[in-house]
Amino acid sequence: MITAKNLSLQYPDGTIALNEINLHIKAGELVYITGPSGSGKTSLIKLLMGIEKPTAGQLEVLSHSMNRIDVKNRMFLRQYMGPVFQELKLINGRTVLDNVILGMRFLPIPKQQWKTLATDALEKVKLSHKILSYAENLSWGEKQRVAIARAIVRRPSLIIADEPTGNLDRKNAINILELLNSLRQENTSVIITTHATHLIDSKLVDQFIQIAAGQLEAKSMEEF
Amino acid sequence: MKAITANIGYFFKETFTILKLNKLSNILSLLSITLAFFLLSLVVSTWLISTEMVEVLQQEAEINVFLSEEADDSSRYEMAESFLEIEGIQASRVVTEAEALERMENILGEESEVLTYFDENPFESFVEVKVDFEQVETVKESVSAYEDVRYVRDHQEVLDQIRNISALQRFLGTLFIVAAGTATLVIISHIIRQGIYHNRQQINTLLLLGAPNFFVALPFVLSGLVLTLAGGLVASLLTRFTVGLGYAQLVTPIPFIPLPPQELLVRNTTALILGLSIFLGLSGSIMGIRSSRKEESL
């Protein structure tokens, strides 16, 4: 599903974000990526989503080579992803329901199912009571859950969640992590970047990866 | 295609959200577009009127032959008969003094009262000759060669003047179409660029979610189209009103001017303006999107 070989990313100003990393993630795996701020976590997500192109090495995501991907294929690839952005990227002036439905509008999901699927997704993140609230009127934690609902409603092959529990209380954070974990049953791979390692149920995790200064290191749960 | 039909409501909702975001700027643009289209429609209307006038006058090309006072009625009728042998003459008949007076009364309508102030009929008898427009000059020469012919009057001068005016209006019309078109394109493309700038975060989110370009761009194309169509519609309504006013002013005092039917004129002008507004709205929007793509990676 995802294979990186000697993958590097260097920004135009010379900063080396990732340096010759190797990675292999199979379908249905749950992978946690941790590391201090500026270590390269977000850069790795940018590469996986095709926002940046590798400057060296090889990266393959869902059978697409990210080294050579064109705009059309990148768009197509992203339709198979469920991204949860750190800055959430909800649309203000639209209701919670509209925001969740927005993620499905251009996918091959029948229009008749949009509302039901969105309502189900919002129920899973415990936000069904806020369905008609406007995005800008929600707390950051609630917004985070809407962003997660928007990602899972698309029934993606790959979930990429950048700090999805960052502003949630313990109870909601555990609920979200359990929810993301449950998606594996549908063979969805889940990649989560987080600082909140204390909330992770180690029995469920397939890979722990730590990034430090652009270098990647696989670790056991006990080492965190 | 499925994504378009399933999202029609969404596209229109987004379009009005985009328009609402820059309310003042969009209102000013709408006013400018309306004004440009209104001026254009006025020029086009007068162009259509003068073209119609030239056509009607060409179809009705005729010369009036006035005979010397010595000629009696029978020689007038003989001469009218003999004119038919001249090449280029389609019909020829004598118009008596009484008929000439009656014609003028019909033309003047309610104003014909002015003719009662004459002690006697001020009109004289003449021979009315219908001529092929292309052969007016040669016919005029042949007719003038007759002995009793005192004076031949044609409408060539008037026709030439109207034709000159019509050519000028055609030139101005073309110039106006180019000017109004360029101004509208610039305005719409600028408005779209502004809309894209104000919505850049939303656009970026949609692209990251894998939205196709057409899905992201369509609301912007529609917002350009809505602006130009609204401008075109208001301009058409103003034109309908102005043409109505103009006809009321022209028809009563100058009833013999061959104006095209008012409804036809308004319909043709409206069709042109609305057609242009659709074309310019789409082109301006696409221009705006294309130029933004270079900067915003849309």
What ipTM does the predicted assembly reach? 0.90
Q: From CA B23, how far away is CA B147, in angstroms rounded? A: 78
In angstroms, the Cα distances linking B101 to A3, B108, B120, B123, B124 are 102, 11, 10, 6, 9
Residues 6+ apart with CB under 8 A from B85: none
8 A C-beta contact, residue B249 and residue B208: no
Residues A68-107 have pLDDT tens digits of 999 899 999 999 999 999 888 999 889 999 999 999 999 9
User: Which among B33, B156, B153, B163 is positioned nearest to B95, based on CA atoms?
Assistant: B153
Which of B205, B207, B214, B215 should we substitute to test contact with A (largest number of A Cβ atoms within 10 Å)?
Answer: B205
Q: How sure is the predictor about B164, in pLDDT bands with cuts at 50, 70 and 90? A: confident
Tell me if A93 and B17 make a contact (CB, 8 A cut-off): yes
Tell me if B208 and A78 make a contact (CB, 8 A cut-off): yes
Kindly report each contact of residues A96-99 with a partner whose C-beta sits within 8 Å and lies 24 or more positions away, as own/partner: A96/A122, A96/A127, A96/A130, A96/A131, A96/A132, A96/A133, A96/A134, A96/A135, A96/A138, A96/A146, A97/A122, A97/A131, A97/A132, A99/A135, A99/A146, A99/A150
Beta bridge partners of A217: A210
- Out of 3.50.50.60, 3.20.20.70, 3.30.1330.100, 3.40.50.300, the CATH code matching A1-80+192-224 is 3.40.50.300
- Could you say which of B207, B209, B212 has the minimum Cβ distance to residue A103? B209
Residues of B in Cβ contact (< 8 Å) with A111: 6
The enclosing H or E element of B168 equals: helix B156-198
Pick the more confident residue, B210 or A222. Answer: B210
Residues A204-224 have pLDDT tens digits of 788 888 888 777 776 655 555
Pick the more confident residue, B2 or A15. Answer: A15
* Residue B50, helix vs strand vs coil: helix
User: Which among A171, A159, A165 is positioned nearest to A144, based on CA atoms?
Assistant: A165
Instruction: Locate the domains of chain A by residue range.
Output: 1-80+192-224
Mean pLDDT of B161-179: 81
- Could you say which of A49, A106, A111 has the minimum Cβ distance to residue B208? A49
Tell me if B210 and A106 make a contact (CB, 8 A cut-off): yes
B6 close contact with A: CB closer than 8 A: yes
In angstroms, the Cα distances linking B259 to B53, B159, B166, B229 are 6, 15, 14, 29
pLDDT at B239 over 80: yes
**Which domains does chain B possess?**
2-57+160-296 (no CATH), 62-154 (3.30.70.3040)
Q: What is the pLDDT of residue A182?
A: 86
8 A C-beta contact, residue B174 and residue B167: no
pLDDT at B198 over 80: yes
Q: Which residue of A has its CA nearest to B17?
A: A93
Q: What is the pLDDT of residue B123?
A: 87
Q: Are strands A207-212 and B89-95 parallel, antiparallel or unpaired?
A: unpaired
Residues of A in Cβ contact (< 8 Å) with B215: 105-106
Q: From CA B84, how far away is CA B64, in angstroms rounded? A: 14
Pick the more confident residue, A166 or B234. Answer: B234
Q: From CA B254, how far away is CA A13, in angstroms rounded? A: 78
How long, in residues, is chain B? 298
Residue A169, class by beta-carbon neighbours within 10 Å (0-12 exposed, 13-18 middle, 19+ buried)? exposed
Percent of chain B with pLDDT over 70: 96
Amino acid at B279: F
pLDDT at B298 over 50: no
Residues of chain A with pLDDT under 50: none
Listed ranges A58-72, B63-77, B169-183; the one with the highest mean pLDDT: A58-72
**Distance from the A220 Cα atom to the nearest Cα atom in chain B, whole angstroms:** 32
